[in-house]
Structure 1
Amino acid sequence: MRLLIAMMKHETNTFSPVETGWQRFVEWGAHLGPAARAAYEGTAMPMGAYIELAKAAGAEIVTPVAAEAMPSGPVAAAAYDKMADAILDAAPGCDAALLDLHGAMVAENTGDGEGTLLERLRQRCPGLPIAVTLDLHCNLTQRMVDNCTAMIGYKTYPHTDMHVVGEQIGRVLMRSLKGEVAPVMAWGNRPILAQTLRMGTDDEPMRALIQLAREIETRPGILAATIFGGFPMADIPEAGISAVVVADGDQAAAQRAVDELLDAAWAEREEFAYRHEPIGQALGRAEALTDGPILLLDHADNCGSGGNQDVMTVLKAVMEQGLEDVAVAAVWDPVAVQELMQAGIGREVTIKLGGRTSMPAIGAQGEPLEVTGRVRTLSDGDWIVRGPMYTGVHVHMGPTAVLDTGKVKIVIVSRHHEPWDQGVFTSVGIDPASTRYLLLKSRIHYRAGFAPIARHTITLDGVGVTTSDNRILTYRNLRRPIYPLDPI
């Protein structure tokens, strides 16, 4: 048996000014051919699970590409074609394909990156059995469902179950190849543009929906059940909440389960809208707390959802508030990093930090922040994730520096990276567990690495293209009406 195993992932924020060419995938760690297998074998990723299943079956393994980039603007056509063509060219002669995809990829040449790939794959190899893992923030489309055999999405946010779901859907495909099951799928959606900050699976309303999906999977004949929160910053018709269920030959049972999941989501639609709070008020609450670490979330500038990671609004407010013993991860500013490297460790410098990117989608200009401090640490920015999310994956933050103002230690990186693991601090000599305040440019993924040490968490509503107020974004392609943008 010959199995095609590949990864092609990007969460596209169509409002983001950050360009997404092939180089952005390379910076995360794009791999072609045998290098793709070497990079992900033994990791806690879906591709790692696929490789384990293939080895157990004694199959020949073909890994044409493993490519992922931090969320950003639409994927360049050349980059999309490079990844898609690698998969398509490797498919002839394979008995099945196991793909690690995202579900919210928008490219210059297609608004449905995953659906287009799967459709072209089936055209190239009609009837090819295909299993797919998808992110919880997938914007599911008819084209995706029509062109694969079985699919599943993560049931955790932060995504700590990637290997688990990869193994689950991989086993479904392997059983179908043996004739033990006959997978059929049903899917649907509801007009809810859920806010990402309201999708944490440890919180309501998502927790109950995930529990329902898990319960559905225990029913006879059900092979997989998924509820997707969707990705609201992709301006495409299908953005929003959806569900898919895989059943063993029983299409009606799959559809009933899909409707049950979506009806439950619709009943809780008001809980998917985020309530805002003035920054000053939130910082006042933070200052009154007596025990730390206290997590401060700059969620509107989260590169993990396509943010610039160089908006200074929240950091400026924290410094003006006079908070002490603060560690910040991370500000993207490769120019500032080079200035600090030229100065050298121990030198006191004054630099203009961040604010290098304008955000036309929200009518905002980049505004740098003048900061004076001592160069504390310089690093190549390379480390390995040891926490529960992306376990075993190499991180490449690029040349990295820490600027210490006396009250605030700022981790400054040359490549975008969301702080979902404590390594973003420990790799540059900062112990997050002994720091009073941790200012993180993150939404929910921070929980994977930092929830175990956090005493309190406070969201700070700053500025950025990952805003939690979708009303300030101009949607042109999104289906309407949709809650909460419209009164339905």
Structure 2
Amino acid sequence: MIIGVARLWHEANSFSSTRVGREEFLAREWLKGSAAIAHYRDTSTELGGAIEWAAGRDDVTLVVSRCASAPPGGPVEQALLDAIIDEIVSDPNFDSVDGLYLSLHGACSGTGDLAPETTLLQRLRQRFPTLPIAASFDMHCCPTETLVSALNVATVYRTYPHVDMDRAAKRALDLLAMNVMRGVRSRVLMHRIGRVLPSFNMRTDGDGPMADIEAEALALERKEGDAILGVYPYASFAYADLPATDAGALVTTTDDARAQRVGNALAQYMFCRRAAFCPALPSADECLARQPWCSGRRVAVLDPADNPLSGGMADTPGLLAAALRHELPPGSVLAFFHDPALVAHLHEQGEGTRLSVTLGGRHDRRFGEPVTCQVEVALLTAGRFVNSGPMERGVTVDLGPTAVIRTGPLSIIVTSVCQSPNDAEYFRLHGMDPEEIPLLLAKAKNHFRAALGSAFDEIHQVEVAGPAMADTAALPYRNLPPARFELGEPLDTTTSRTRSEA
């Protein structure tokens, strides 16, 4: 059994002023063939899962085509997207495959094509009219009817933070192998709910609406028997201003009637839980004014609006401006600003230099004016580390050259590549022990909790102006009707459970 593998993984924020090009893909993932297998072996990723799955069988050969991934950001330059899709679709190594497995995010967008994953699947289906095709998706995918109709199998991450990427791949490959070996042809049906579910309250590692929805999906899958091969809810991506942005369920089946019943039941369950996803966040000033660290508790304050894994640019100045208005505990850290030119200048100046720097507002000033402050260059690094996980464990991360600058009690990390501060090794690279930071201000969201949630007594999310802010009414949507965001009364989630309560 020969299985073709390819990957196109990017989440596009329509309100980011950046455009994603070849440089961003090269910084994260631009691999093929044996190089891709070597890079992802023993990692908790989709490709890592596929490699482990194949290694556990004596009847499988993987043929790996282009694997391209970039950090979330603005839309991808269309010429580059076209080239990636052309390379995968026309790969001559796929001539002899028995099935195809694709690792897709599902919320990619080009500067011209608003549904490039659909384009990829359409073209693969035209080339291979009868070949079994499987795909795994991020929980925040935005699938179209045309994309779904081209698939025989679909799986979606069940965890958020996404610590089951490898399991999503393995399950997709199990079902793909069933299609190949048994000669059955399963199908995928989609059921939408007519709403977009914000991801602020979407964690699955505890109580919450998404944990309930995943449990309901698994219960429906078990109840319906062999004809229902997979029941997967997806939440869609609120900052992808795409016609297909809408939460729902994907059901892989050999019985359409049962699948319709199951999909409708799960979609209705999701719709009824929609209000629990609506957050009511305090401002950064309101949170910092309470000084939640004053009793010796260790606190993380997250700025989801500029979270790079939601398409943020790590460039909005609001969190820093608020921090400088308050008395912070010694040893406080802000992670991070993405500013390659500033990092290069700091490396030229050297450690110990004192100078004036301007932070934020580099791309545009829609979300606030730049902040100027006097700093000392405390540390310079080459910016490379290996994730200790659990999310994307074993993956090598290259931030490019980085710097730590210090102003008063606050140390600020500045990087050359925009990668979220979601792993403990990110901080150890910069001479910081996450277990000893009294106050961490981070441009991050739920993925932060996978590796770092247990390091803090309290974790707060705050509302700061940015391309992924909770106040979606402040963002200029063009393709989504306002009704998609009508969820009901907001839920007060200003503070997460504390470490002791968890």
TM-score normalised by L of structure 2: 0.92
Is the counterpart of residue 233 in structure 1 residue 239 in structure 2?
yes
The CA distance in 1 between the partners of 2:345 and 2:372, in whole Å, is 13
> Shift of the alpha carbon at 1:442?
0.8
* Structure 1 equivalent of residue 250 of structure 2: 244
For the 8 Å contact 2:274–2:487, the answer to whether it is kept is: no
Say which of 153, 175, 179 aligns to 1:150: 153
Say which of 108, 131, 140 aligns to 1:105: 108
The CA distance in 2 between the partners of 1:270 and 1:243, in whole Å, is 18
The CA distance in 1 between the partners of 2:485 and 2:353, in whole Å, is 53
Quote the sequence identity (%).
32
Question: Which structure 2 residues correspond to residues 355-434 of structure 1 after superposition, within 5 A?
Answer: 355-358=361-364, 364=366, 367-434=369-436
Distance 1:486 1:109, change over 3 A: farther
* Structure 1 equivalent of residue 219 of structure 2: 215
Say which of 333, 352, 362 aligns to 1:327: 333
Secondary structure of 2:113's counterpart equals: coil
Distance 1:483 1:298, change over 3 A: closer
Distance 1:293 1:82, change over 3 A: farther
The CA distance in 1 between the partners of 2:285 and 2:15, in whole Å, is 27
Matched residue type, 1:190: I
Matched residue type, 1:42: D
Secondary structure of 1:117's counterpart equals: helix
> Shift of the alpha carbon at 1:356?
0.6
Tell me the C-alpha RMSD between the 2 structures. Answer: 1.8
Secondary structure of 1:105's counterpart equals: coil
The CA distance in 2 between the partners of 1:286 and 1:242, in whole Å, is 40
For the 8 Å contact 1:327–1:432, the answer to whether it is kept is: no
Distance 1:480 1:116, change over 3 A: farther
Say which of 121, 129, 132 aligns to 2:132: 129
1:104-152 CA deviation, whole Å, 9 max, x = no partner? 0111232112111111101112112111000000112111211111001
* Structure 1 equivalent of residue 95 of structure 2: 92
The CA distance in 2 between the partners of 1:441 and 1:231, in whole Å, is 18
Matched residue type, 1:183: S
Is the counterpart of residue 461 in structure 1 residue 466 in structure 2?
no
Secondary structure of 1:342's counterpart equals: helix
Secondary structure of 1:4's counterpart equals: strand
Matched residue type, 2:324: M
**Higher mean Cα deviation, 170-179 or 88-97?**
88-97
* Structure 1 equivalent of residue 36 of structure 2: 36
The CA distance in 2 between the partners of 1:29 and 1:185, in whole Å, is 29
> Shift of the alpha carbon at 1:284?
2.3
Matched residue type, 2:320: L
* Structure 2 equivalent of residue 347 of structure 1: 353
Any gaps of 5 or more consecutive residues in structure 2?
490-502
Secondary structure of 2:358's counterpart equals: strand
Say which of 265, 269, 274 aligns to 1:269: 274
For the 8 Å contact 2:317–2:367, the answer to whether it is kept is: no
> Shift of the alpha carbon at 1:353?
2.0
The CA distance in 2 between the partners of 1:239 and 1:74, in whole Å, is 15
Secondary structure of 2:279's counterpart equals: coil
* Structure 2 equivalent of residue 260 of structure 1: 265
The CA distance in 2 between the partners of 1:46 and 1:468, in whole Å, is 29
Is the counterpart of residue 160 in structure 1 residue 160 in structure 2?
no
> Shift of the alpha carbon at 1:180?
7.2
Distance 1:210 1:486, change over 3 A: closer
> Shift of the alpha carbon at 1:38?
1.8
> Shift of the alpha carbon at 1:393?
0.8
Matched residue type, 1:447: R
Matched residue type, 2:68: A
* Structure 2 equivalent of residue 169 of structure 1: 172
The CA distance in 2 between the partners of 1:477 and 1:396, in whole Å, is 35
Secondary structure of 2:245's counterpart equals: coil
* Structure 1 equivalent of residue 75 of structure 2: 74
Matched residue type, 2:169: G
Question: Which structure 2 residues correspond to residues 281-296 of structure 1 after superposition, within 5 A?
Answer: 281-287=286-292, 289-296=294-301
The CA distance in 2 between the partners of 1:122 and 1:261, in whole Å, is 28
Matched residue type, 2:394: G
Distance 1:278 1:428, change over 3 A: closer
> Shift of the alpha carbon at 1:185?
2.4
Matched residue type, 1:78: A
1:175-228 CA deviation, whole Å, 9 max, x = no partner? 221117542322110111221212222342111001111222323122211111
* Structure 2 equivalent of residue 206 of structure 1: 210
> Shift of the alpha carbon at 1:351?
1.3
The CA distance in 2 between the partners of 1:260 and 1:14, in whole Å, is 31
Distance 1:484 1:336, change over 3 A: same
TM-score normalised by L of structure 1: 0.95
Distance 1:57 1:109, change over 3 A: farther
For the 8 Å contact 2:388–2:394, the answer to whether it is kept is: yes
Question: Which structure 2 residues correspond to residues 39-78 of structure 1 after superposition, within 5 A?
Answer: 39-55=39-55, 56-78=57-79
The CA distance in 1 between the partners of 2:185 and 2:132, in whole Å, is 11
Say which of 117, 120, 123 aligns to 1:120: 123
Distance 1:354 1:380, change over 3 A: same
> Shift of the alpha carbon at 1:13?
0.7
Any gaps of 5 or more consecutive residues in structure 1?
none
Is the counterpart of residue 448 in structure 1 residue 454 in structure 2?
no
For the 8 Å contact 1:356–1:366, the answer to whether it is kept is: no
> Shift of the alpha carbon at 1:373?
2.4
The CA distance in 2 between the partners of 1:180 and 1:289, in whole Å, is 64
For the 8 Å contact 2:152–2:252, the answer to whether it is kept is: no
* Structure 1 equivalent of residue 493 of structure 2: none
The CA distance in 1 between the partners of 2:263 and 2:481, in whole Å, is 20
For the 8 Å contact 1:286–1:458, the answer to whether it is kept is: no
1:450-480 CA deviation, whole Å, 9 max, x = no partner? 1121210111211111111110112211256
